Amino acid sequence: MKRSLSGIQPSGVLHIGNYFGAMKQFVDLQNSYDGFYFIADYHSLTSLTKAETLKENTYNIVLDYLAIGLDPNKSTIFLQSNVPEHTELTWLLSNITPVGLLERGHSYKDKIAKGIPANTGLLTYPVLMAADILIYDSDIVPVGKDQKQHLEMTRDIAMKFNQQYGVEFFKLPEPLILDDSAIVPGTDGQKMSKSYNNTINMFATKKKLKEQVMSIVTDSTPLEEPKNPDNNIAKIYALFNNIDKQNELKDKFLAGNFGYGHAKTELLNSILEYFGRAREKREELEKNIDYVKDVLNEGSKKARAIAIEKIKKAKEIVGLIGNI
């Protein structure tokens, strides 16, 4: 069975961009791929400095994974920092990765442009990501479009290693990016992002969720007039509804006498309905945190056993002699 691997940073509360861009694919693929899905807690240290928040976010992501239907009997759910071999491989890969490649990273450049201090972790984030993927011989990586360049870097780094040491050691992974959910827009129309304060969180309280949906930015076309049917509400609505429902909404916008507030209420109902079962499941899981911990510990053990074998071979290839 081919292997699918991906991770999510516990840098905040997960949102429908994370879900449609990546997590939904984790669940959809779990019968056809050997799934490895992790919580990228090492990665989140590049932006998160509050230990308590990191711990809380980490538990929340495991709950989210399980609530949306990831099955630990089918997929391996693990914590990145429980497999320190990821960081060990990062060091080996760092020594073949040109600084220029990392400096060209869109995500790195965006963060610097926003005034985020350029720590080394932020620059070398893609090398750790390459290690995460390559250490498991992953075949595909389901991600949103913002990660496309990082996946290309992973392939470049793998090729460079294979060439430099004259081996076919690292498998070149393929990104899996779905057209319809490649970039989910946030409430302000930019890419939805944990750090932009523009998110719709699938498991927010109903009151909070309503506030988030109502904050979607629209234009000021009067109620009675027809509206552009390709607005931000319609784009988000499309993620939750089939084509007939999408067309119905478009027709209402074109007909006039249908305000953005009405559309937002329809969107809110769709979101609540879509995640209804997952919400219930999440509430049940919250009462059974020992089970959640077991899932993470068992998954981490399984992942680590694979990573240990791969790093051992990688060290031999580069000439680290180990125990003699």
Site string for ligand AQP, 56-95 (x = CB under 6 A): ----------------------------------------
Determine the 3-state secondary structure of 1 from DSSP.
Answer: coil
| Closest to ligand AQP by CB, 182 or 268 | 182
What does the block give as tokens for 147? Answer: 């990660």
Of 33, 238, 46, nearest to 137 by C-alpha is 33
Q: Is 11 annotated as a binding residue?
A: yes
Q: How near is the Cβ of 240 to ligand AQP at its closest, in Å?
A: 14
Rounded to whole angstroms, what are the CA distances from 93 to 44, 69, 132, 237? 20, 34, 11, 42
Q: Which of 2, 24, 111, 301 is catalytic?
A: 111
Q: Which of 109, 148, 191, 315 is catalytic?
A: 191
Using the contact rule CB under 6 A, the part of the chain among 65-73, 183-191, 222-230, 268-276 near ligand AQP is 183-191
Q: Is 235 annotated as a binding residue?
A: no
Whole-number Å distance between alpha carbons of 154 and 150: 6
Site for ligand AQP contains 143 (CB under 6 A): yes
| Closest to ligand AQP by CB, 200 or 292 | 200
- Supply the DSSP string of 246-311, one letter for each residue: HHHHHHHHHHSS--HHHHHHHHHHHHHHHTHHHHHHHHHHHT-HHHHHHHHHHHHHHHHHHHHHHH
Q: Quick check: is 191 catalytic?
A: yes
What does the block give as tokens for 99? Answer: 């600084």
Q: How near is the Cβ of 278 to ligand AQP at its closest, in Å?
A: 17
Using the contact rule CB under 6 A, the part of the chain among 86-94, 164-172, 186-194, 228-236 near ligand AQP is 186-194
Q: Could you tell me if 120 and 168 are in contact, meaning their C-beta atoms sit under 8 angstroms apart?
A: no
Residues 162-181 interacting with ligand AQP (rule: CB under 6 A): 181
Q: Is 184 annotated as a binding residue?
A: yes
Q: Quick check: is 111 catalytic?
A: yes
Q: How near is the Cβ of 298 to ligand AQP at its closest, in Å?
A: 23
- Of the residues 35, 105, 126, 144, which one makes contact with ligand AQP according to CB under 6 A: 144
Those residues with Cβ within 8 angstroms of residue 312's Cβ, 6 or more apart along the chain or in another chain: 322
Whole-number Å distance between alpha carbons of 240 and 243: 10
Q: Could you tell me if 192 and 201 are in contact, meaning their C-beta atoms sit under 8 angstroms apart?
A: no
Whole-number Å distance between alpha carbons of 239 and 20: 8
Q: Is 270 annotated as a binding residue?
A: no
Q: 218-230 as b/e, with b when 16 or more CB fall inside 10 Å?
A: beeeeeeeebebe
Site for ligand AQP contains 122 (CB under 6 A): no
Q: Count residues contacting ligand AQP (CB under 6 A)?
A: 22
Q: Quick check: is 264 catalytic?
A: no
- Of the residues 66, 134, 192, 263, which one makes contact with ligand AQP according to CB under 6 A: 192
Residues 8-47 interacting with ligand AQP (rule: CB under 6 A): 8-9, 11-12, 17-18, 21-22, 40, 47
| Alpha-helix runs per DSSP H in the chain | 16-18, 24-28, 41-44, 51-67, 85-94, 99-103, 106-113, 120-134, 148-165, 206-214, 232-240, 243-255, 260-274, 276-286, 289-318
Q: How near is the Cβ of 319 to ligand AQP at its closest, in Å?
A: 33
Q: How near is the Cβ of 202 to ligand AQP at its closest, in Å?
A: 13
Those residues with Cβ within 8 angstroms of residue 199's Cβ, 6 or more apart along the chain or in another chain: 12, 13, 15, 16, 17, 186, 187, 192, 193, 212
Q: How near is the Cβ of 289 to ligand AQP at its closest, in Å?
A: 22
Footprint of ligand AQP (CB under 6 A) = 8-9, 11-12, 17-18, 21-22, 40, 47, 143-144, 146-147, 181, 183-184, 191-195
- Catalytic residue positions, numbered: 111, 191, 194
Known binding residues are 9-11, 17-18, 132, 144-146, 184, 191-195
